[in-house]
Structure 1
Amino acid sequence: MPFGECRQLTNVDATKLVDPLVKWSGEPLRPQDAPSLVSKGLFLANSAPRGVVYLSIPLDDWTEPAEENALTNLLQRSADGTPVITPKAVDALVDALEGASAPSLVLGPGADTEVGFAAAIALAEQAHLPVWIAPGPPRAPFPTRHRCYQGQLPSSAGAIADVLAQYDTVACFGAPVFRYHAPSTEDFLRPGTTVYAVTDDPDEAARAPFGQIYIGDPSDALVRIAGTIAPSNRDWLPQRPITEADTSGPHFTVEAILDAIDRGTTDDTAFALEWTSADLVRDRLTISRAKSLFYPAAGALGWGLPAAIGLKLGFPDRPVVALLGDGAMQYTVAGLWTAARYSVPVTFVVCTNRKYRALQEFSRVLHVPEGDYLDISGLGILDIARGYGLETHHAETLEDLTSYLRTGEEATGPRLVEIFER
């Protein structure tokens, strides 16, 4: 069998079985091929467009010897390439923003890098740009308390068009143009709005139904444009207000719980979010640095709990908090055992409303009669967590939740706190 050959994990529709967002997946056909496939996976994961790769290695392959000559050649191999947009494209984007009477910036997950985050701030401040986050954002690529921040775009075509109608030029970096979730028969854009976009994903560019699209690293493009564009004398927009939350209990509003979580966490906290009630108001959390909020791009339930464990392994020096609904927690609840077994210090916040709210909302849209089958009351969230070996706590008040979160940095193992959501 040729060195490096593998079997692609696909079904009859050529859809990768592991995850529809996996960039590449494979499995060695013989043990000696594993090093080559590990190398290939690392190379592909870090090449544009960057993405998740999956490699399945049979258990008994690990004890087999590698081929020395093949390893030597592999370690001596190198590959170099940094796809970026052309200078002509940078000039076109700068000209479009400088020549606009009402420009704006839209950011997506592709801009949520240390470099991209800082460059987006610099560009927004230099050009006095209002900044929106692309619909259904799986990341938070801009500070939520910055004076340029306007919030996240809605997820239906007509609603996005209405928001963007106030701008003549929209520059989008690192996001699909655009992701639509709610059905709409409206036009994608209102007359007078022109969209430019930079993405490192050629497929994303091909899917875009409108706009002038450039393929290249969004973070690199932000850096180059921010360093080129002239300072603007446009007036600053008013600071985006944060409405006051109803803090009455004993069951609390989503806004009040998010505010309590925000007070109990720091700028270094990384959040794994799978609390669907909070989707549209997640920016009540103070995000001030890159790679601080992670949400499933496809909206699949069961992602948040194990993702939080992975985040802590990837960010050992940052506090990690998982924000989960009581229904979402059940999809991958056995992940709590992994966290306990390996003493992974994640704080899991479970917001219990005793409802399968996501399905309730879909039922209304699809005109499906609601019934008791959507009632998930009676789940002993704390009992389940204790059974897996976690420290547990029930937060009776918002202040109690804040205080419990503040002790998270000293934790040596996983903890779970429950609070009742209205």
Structure 2
Amino acid sequence: MNLSWAQIVRMGLVQMCLGAVVVLTTSTLNRLMVVELALPAVLPGLLVGLHYGIQITRPNWGFLSDTSGHRTRWIIGGMAVLGGGAWLAALGVVLMATQFAAGLALSVLAYALIGLGAGASGTSLLALLASACAPRRRAAAATITWLMMIAGIAVTATMVGHFLDPYTPARLLEIVGIVGVGAVLVTSLAIAGIERRAGAAPVPESTPMRFREGLAEIWAEPAARNFTIFVFLSMTAYFMQELILEPYAGLVFGMTPGQSTQLSGAQNGGVFLGMLIVGIAATGLRLGSLRHWVVAGCLGSAAALSVIAFLGAAGVAAALVPAVVALGVFNGMFAVAAIGAMMALAGQGRAAREGTRMGLWGAAQAIAAGFGGLVGAAAADVLRAVLGNDAAGFGAVFYAEAGLFVLAALLALRVIDHGRARGAALVPGE
């Protein structure tokens, strides 16, 4: 079991497709509901929360990929469901303008499909990567695939922002349809044959274990359990701004849909840069431990959020893009360090359970993302009403998120061991 670098890059293309489809639902459609349709931010918050909440099924998908003897089918099938759900979500937004009830019902179904598709495809892909990648390549493989995912998010957000202006419902449906179909085609071509050639297909167990027994077995592992708690708490902080940054740009700074979507692209470009910095420094130059990079990313994110909140109160629009890019850089530093630990821990403990561990951590991240996004959106609505000022309402949420990042940094100092972190980040499994 030893993926070549070319195969790792091909798997990164699948991650790129996942990011490209999901960013449409968490940024562009969210912005259209809040600004163009003048709906409360809590509505897209609930829908995105549903999408993340459905991903509590990730351990199930991971367990199925562990025990079915075939991960590729779950990767491709999940991507098809994800792409179809994204198009239905766009159609739901279009319908809301004239038939709100019908549009909302369709959106609920669509976001549920998005959650199922992302969970099945993403978990199975990570399980294949963890099980088929040589230990000495795991950290680099994690960095490569996540950089490609962030590249997909950044490029898609920027291109969609360009082609979406001037906005029309027909143009929205056309763009989302093209992205969804393209993602399925690229995924099918990229993943074809990798599992078989790498000899990484899981062997079906002679005495099948029930899912609850398999999950309980993994939860009993102290390292897996403690890391799950850390993932949930830190990712709650990470995702609180996801649903309110574009509405903030539109309502406080007067940005158009295309401009705010491009702002999201700039942020994800910063995430890409932050991941690249850690990948080169930690993996290539062997500078710093995993704990150092996690703490630096959390504290830097807190500082950037504080600046973003201050800019709204001061009315300084010119510095918003640099501040958002800085937030992305520190977010990327934190995220790739956490991914390095995840890839290392997935192959430890009971053998042939990489998918279940990845699913458990993916579920913790998804629940935190939905919870954080919903709390951020709801708090923004309430504080804007109470304070009577958009900038003050959004700013208070950004300051609260900064505080959570500081708490996450303190938690990392206790959860992530310094000595083990260095080994896990640089040469996991050895």
TM-score range, shorter chain: under 0.3
Question: TM-score with structure 2 length normalisation?
Answer: 0.24
Task: Identify the structure with the greater strand proportion.
Answer: 1
Under a length normalisation based on structure 1, what TM-score does the superposition of the two structures give?
0.24
